[in-house]
Structure 1
């Protein structure tokens, strides 16, 4: 009977040992399962890094994250069956890895926020450029550059584009902005000038009538005048200029390719007569 307490004590200890071993096995199994999930999350992080890098390249933004450069030499898409499970010997090691992943996610968030800001600014810049054809008639009678003046016969710099169009045809703002001049100007006839952002000014000359006045805010595509032949002109047409800080630029740098279809472009062949109108 004297050995009974000892046997009971041994049984209790063995039971406690078995319980601890079982808990240890369960903890290891849980850590292994979590390690697999962490491996899958890391694969997703690498994939997202790749998406961020491709977006940056498309947007023309330098992507200099060294971690991404190191991990994205090949394909950036990692499938679940190829994601390697990570082995953790303790919950503390798992916690450290989760902290590292959280920091990486923060960097991704900051990088995507930067990319969003750059693309938003770029979209705003593009929206402010005079990229809309000011008339529905793409037939150009005179391009930008040196030419013989149709009236004086002298060689002179032609600082815009001439679009032949019927008398009274609508003239639209090539971009949104503020009207800084609307009236008669020597040589140009009835003219509208619109101030856009980034020191850009567009000029619409030889109109028959004006639909805006100085100080008006206009939107891209808004009717601002009608085609005419006022000023030094040989026939109905629009003389269109783009100026930056007062210096003329070739408007064709901003306008869409006339060979590509555009929603607002129309066939002017029936309206254009034998004579071709040219600007001053």
Structure 2
């Protein structure tokens, strides 16, 4: 094997003759050819390794961005659900307040009618008029209340007004009941008193007898009316009375209307003051069309005159 060495300048080249055996030649060939090849492979591997690292880094960044976006979307969805839930709750609360305001308006209108107030004085169908100059103070740090706080305050005010109106309605209803059950007036619309309460001569046998009521004479079929509100506790025939109606008014008071031609009410029926109870007749122990009127207090008959001449409550 010859190895030629080239020198610089004019120096002659040198040639060396090597006696190389077969395995030595193979080793040198591998070294001369494999070294550059190995360097190339190593360089390629390094380049590929760098590219892989870049790709891994880019993939990691993309995944992080996707996770961040997914988390933000989840937070947005959660905020949206919470907002929808709050809106639904506020909608229900407003509807509840509106219903309660309508009830208060209804109570107010009933009280206005019951008290016979001028409709223009208390008009529950209009918003109350408000006014006045505005004054601001710079020293006060004002923080606007939340919507739910305002609703709670309005609800508390409605509670207070509703309680007051309900109490007033109960008091006025009790007063109306007392007025309705207040015994006053005559049991007829037209007619005259034909016999008073107390001792009198019996019209059938001429003997002295005790008359437990007063008699009002009139025309047959004339209306007999209740002198106060109450409950019918008798409606039918009764010995000596003919057709009789008895009304219990409460507080130990009761009234009787006898000798009727026809009773127009039934036992258990609730009647109002001035309601027609029967038609005038002459049933039972009677000499002609009239109504025998009795007043009982705590189970004992009393003179109806004091109740007949009473001034009715208005």
Q: How would you bin the TM-score normalised by the shorter chain? A: 0.3 to 0.5
Relative to the length of structure 1, the TM-score reads 0.47
Q: Which has the higher contact order (CA 8 A, sep 6+)?
A: 1
Of the two, which has the highest radius of gyration?
Answer: 2
Relative to the length of structure 2, the TM-score reads 0.42
